[in-house]
């Protein structure tokens, strides 16, 4: 039918129509109804996780920016204990150094980290130190939640900030009491977890959702041609490793994590009242509502003037005469605006922007729409 009608039109018009139809087809293919992502980008594998480590240590070599020994008891006792372990008796001595600081050392132990692997550590001042710039962290054991030592840290501390000044002014850039040591810790103890020996593997969704969990299970079963995956709840998809699968558990995870799925999204509006930030999801919809917004603003301006006698006057006195200007804005220009039902996110934003309100007032409007039952989304205030 399209070809028959096009023949009766001029060649130029027919060419334009054909080009328009082709462009529409290309856009339909390039912009699918829902974007697809890989399973590995929205899930975590059971047991493949980091572990937090923490330790207490001393940083030495500071240029007079360390802890006040007299005011920081823990620094003093730590220094004395360290010297005693090295065969130096400093218990009865009067320590007056300002080149040492007590610090907390933290690190993340990567999954499957082996003995001898180096990891990065963060160093933070614990006492009254002004800066850790140029300091050297001494040997510090890093403990896990079970109290066992999993790594040992040592090395020069690199800080991104500095502090300088004199008696009248001081300049500080960044946080000089925080530092980092790249590859500053050596793993001494491994976390015992044999992934390849598992018969079942659980995938945990980073954003729990029933629909997304079911789609992941269907994608895995369709790829393997067997019912090996099933969703247990909105956040967990359990997968059974087929008998004799090439590569075992690791091979199965490698294959299925590349599968594309279309994650579903909950209609949600997130509001941060502290910063006035508003984030709306793509699925947010509202019923037809009429919105009017207006504020009562009272502006008081003081512009005092000086009244003084004219030149060469025999009598007179200079006085300050107050001048007060009071302006009241009742928002009479603001009128009702209608936001139609079932609009898209872009149309909703345009409708709210047409009211000419700021983020703070927009937060109140969204809360009022939710209270009226017209906001078809979850309103979350953080």
Cα–Cα nearest to 209, from 232, 239, 235, 229: 235
pLDDT at 296: 46
Strand-pairing partners, residue 121, are 181
Q: Write the CB contacts of 142 (distance below 8 Å, at least 6 apart in sequence).
A: 53, 54, 55, 105, 107, 121, 149, 150, 151, 152, 153, 185
Residues 255 and 239 sit within 8 Å (Cβ to Cβ): no
Backbone φ and ψ of 96, nearest 5°? -125, 25
Please provide the DSSP assignment of 25-55 as one string. HHHHHHS-SS--EEGGGTEEETT---EEEEE
Side-chain half-sphere CA neighbours of 105 within 13 A: 32
d(CA 266, CA 268): 6
Provide the residue ranges of all domains of the chain, joining segments of one domain with +: 51-162+172-187, 195-261, 269-303+323-381
Phi-psi region of 147 (alpha: psi -120 to 50; beta: other; left: phi over 0): left
Q: How do beta strands 378-381 and 268-272 pair?
A: parallel
Residue 381: its pLDDT value, please? Answer: 84
Q: In 10 A of CB 177, how many CB atoms? A: 22
Q: DSSP code of 158?
A: B
CATH topology of domain 195-261: Alpha-Beta Plaits (3.30.70)
Name the pTM for this structure. Answer: 0.69
Q: Are 151 and 186 in contact (CB under 8 A)?
A: yes
- β-pairing, 277-280 vs 51-60, is unpaired
Phi, psi (5° rounding) for residue 138?
Answer: -80, 170
**Cα–Cα distance list, 15 to 6, 23, 164, 241, 344 (Å):** 9, 12, 71, 56, 33
Which tokens sit at 268? Answer: 């949600």
- Report the candidate in 258, 231, 255 with the shortest Cα–Cα distance to residue 245: 255
Q: Give me the tens of pLDDT residue by residue for the chain, a chain 382 residues long.
A: 334 333 444 444 344 334 433 433 433 433 444 578 999 999 999 889 999 999 999 999 998 889 988 888 888 889 888 888 888 887 767 778 889 999 999 999 999 999 999 999 999 999 999 899 999 999 999 999 999 999 999 999 999 866 666 666 667 667 889 999 999 999 999 998 888 888 899 999 999 999 999 999 999 999 999 899 999 999 999 999 988 888 888 999 999 999 999 999 888 888 887 887 888 887 888 777 776 666 544 455 667 777 777 776 667 677 777 776 656 555 555 555 565 666 666 676 676 676 666 777 778 888 888 888 888 888 888 8
Among 289, 258, 259, CA closest to 352: 289
Residue 286's pLDDT is 78
């Amino acid at each position: 039918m399209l070809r028959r009608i096009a023949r009766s039109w001029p060649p130029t018009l027919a060419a334009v129509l054909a080009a328009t139809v082709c462009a529409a087809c290309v856009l339909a293919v390039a912009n699918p109804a829902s974007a697809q992502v890989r399973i590995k980008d929205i899930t975590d594998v059971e047991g493949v996780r980091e572990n937090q480590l923490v330790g207490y240590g001393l940083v030495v070599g500071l240029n007079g920016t360390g802890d006040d020994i007299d005011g920081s008891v823990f620094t003093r006792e730590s220094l004395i204990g360290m010297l005693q372990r090295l065969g130096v008796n400093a218990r009865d001595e009067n320590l007056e150094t300002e080149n040492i600081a007590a610090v907390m050392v933290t690190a993340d132990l990567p999954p499957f980290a082996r003995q001898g692997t180096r990891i990065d550590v963060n160093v933070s001042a614990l006492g009254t130190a002004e800066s850790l710039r140029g300091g050297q962290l001494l040997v510090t054991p890093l403990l896990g939640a079970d109290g066992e030592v999993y790594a040992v840290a040592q090395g020069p501390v690199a800080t991104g900030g500095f502090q300088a000044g004199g008696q009248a002014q001081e300049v500080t850039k960044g946080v000089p009491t925080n530092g980092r040591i790249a590859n500053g810790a050596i793993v001494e103890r491994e976390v015992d977890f044999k992934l390849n020996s598992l018969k079942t593997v659980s995938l945990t969704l980073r954003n729990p959702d029933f629909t997304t969990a079911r789609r992941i299970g269907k994608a895995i079963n369709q790829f393997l041609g067997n019912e090996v995956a099933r969703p247990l709840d909105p956040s967990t998809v359990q997968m059974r490793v087929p008998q004799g699968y090439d590569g075992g558990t690791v091979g199965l995870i490698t294959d299925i994590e590349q599968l594309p799925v279309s994650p579903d999204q909950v209609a949600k509006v997130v509001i941060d009242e502290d910063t006035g930030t508003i984030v709306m999801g793509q699925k947010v919809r509202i019923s037809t509502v009429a919105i009017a917004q207006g504020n009562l603003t009272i502006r008081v301006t003081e512009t005092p003037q000086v009244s003084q006698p004219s030149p060469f006057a025999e009598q007179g006195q200079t006085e300050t005469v107050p001048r007060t200007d009071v302006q009241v804005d009742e928002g009479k220009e603001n009128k009702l605006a209608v936001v139609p039902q079932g609009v898209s996110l872009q149309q909703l934003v345009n409708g709210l922007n047409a009211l000419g309100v700021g983020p703070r007032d927009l937060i109140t409007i969204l809360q009022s729409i939710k209270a009226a039952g017209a906001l078809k989304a979850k309103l979350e205030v953080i």
